[in-house]
């Protein structure tokens, strides 16, 4: 299977090419919504409207996505069958503010991996995100899958999602000992739109905003994420996300790489759309320029939905890096 083959077969305007401008990580100035551009007119980095929309629709680049989503659910069910049902705990007052805790056995307080699911900011669930739990639990780490509101229910506000997730991190820090967790060793992982949110969480001023230690998150893993909202705001995702120039500036992790104070793994799939690949590489370059500790992993031969599954495999580059980040952060 070739990268972008599904989009190439759709129509010439959906060719998944990566122009030289995109490879260089350059981006034109902000433009709000992008739904009115005529076919063929450049919207971003050589893409016309249909081609740019295709860059953010990963189903076009992963024809087996329905099978994979079904596999996530099946593998999550299998993990629960082996580990037992998780603790279902509330971290806030709304119905969406719940999290699933898969506890590691053993004496003492164990480290924590918090997982933020993807789904275009509007889909996904903690229940279907347990497929990686067993790898962490068997390695002595609590695995927490978190639910949070979707962006459409939030009226298009990404800030609302981020706020709930900040509350989840604060709750875990303050209540970790209640389930045998070490609040001083919280790590975070996210996939796709969840990787975008995880990256933002790693840039939060925790002392000022939540009264927590500045290093409450000790490290992170972001897989196939979005880190520059400028092109996203020009795509058809602007139909349900309320993008403004302020939102693009504040909620694009690539704009503030110096705010990372801990090591981070940035992974992407070789069969991700070219724009998703560009965003990871450009973000990694920005972090390295800022003097931050970053490891880039290319998940070779995997598409957008398959790559995150390798988090469940302790022998895969992604799973091994995540576990090493927790066990030996000083050697990362």
What are the tens digits of pLDDT across the range 58-100? 999 999 999 999 999 999 999 999 999 999 999 999 999 999 9
Say what the pLDDT of residue 35 is: 40
Say what the pLDDT of residue 328 is: 85
Say what the pLDDT of residue 39 is: 61
Q: What are the pLDDT digits (tens) for 190-210?
A: 999 999 999 999 999 999 999
Q: What are the pLDDT digits (tens) for 279-331?
A: 999 999 999 999 999 999 999 999 999 999 999 999 999 999 999 999 987 77
Predicted TM-score (pTM) of this structure: 0.88
Q: Which residue has the higher pLDDT, 38 or 304?
A: 304
Query: Closest by alpha carbon to 243, among 258, 254, 231, 255?
Result: 231
Categorize the per-residue pLDDT at 106 as very low, low, confident or very high, splitting at 50, 70 and 90: confident
Residue with tokens 């890096």: 321
The CA dihedral of 110, 145, 221, 198, to the nearest 10 degrees, is: -120
């Amino acid at each position: 299977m070739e990268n972008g083959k599904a989009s190439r077969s759709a129509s010439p305007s959906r060719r998944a090419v990566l122009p030289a401008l995109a490879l260089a990580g350059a981006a034109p100035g902000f433009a709000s919504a992008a739904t009115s551009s005529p076919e063929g007119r450049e919207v971003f980095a050589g893409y016309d409207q249909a081609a740019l929309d295709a860059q953010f629709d990963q189903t076009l680049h992963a024809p087996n996505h329905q099978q994979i989503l079904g596999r996530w659910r099946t593998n999550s069910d299998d993990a629960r069958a082996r580990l037992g049902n998780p603790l279902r705990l509330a971290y806030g007052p709304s119905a969406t503010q719940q999290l699933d805790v898969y506890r590691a056995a053993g004496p003492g307080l164990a480290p924590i991996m918090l997982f933020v699911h993807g789904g275009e900011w509007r889909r996904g669930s903690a229940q279907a995100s347990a497929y990686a739990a067993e790898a962490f639990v068997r390695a002595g780490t609590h695995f927490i899958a978190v639910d949070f509101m979707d962006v459409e229910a939030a009226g298009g506000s990404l800030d609302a999602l981020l706020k709930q997730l900040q509350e989840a991190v604060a709750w875990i820090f303050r209540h970790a000992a209640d389930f045998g967790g070490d609040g001083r060793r919280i790590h975070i992982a996210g996939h796709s739109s969840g990787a975008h949110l995880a990256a933002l969480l790693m840039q939060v001023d925790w002392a000022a905003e939540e009264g927590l230690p500045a290093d409450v998150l000790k490290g992170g893993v972001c897989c196939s994420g979005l880190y520059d909202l400028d092109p996203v705001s020009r795509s058809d995702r602007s139909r349900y996300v309320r993008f403004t120039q302020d939102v693009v500036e504040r909620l694009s992790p690539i704009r503030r790489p110096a705010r990372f104070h801990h090591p981070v793994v940035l992974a992407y799939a070789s069969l991700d759309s070219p724009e998703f690949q560009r965003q990871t590489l450009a973000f990694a370059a920005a972090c390295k320029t800022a003097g931050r500790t970053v490891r880039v992993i290319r998940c070779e031969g995997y598409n957008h939905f398959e790559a995150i599954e390798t988090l469940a495999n302790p022998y895969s580059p992604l799973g091994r890096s995540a576990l090493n980040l927790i066990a030996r952060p000083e050697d990362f």
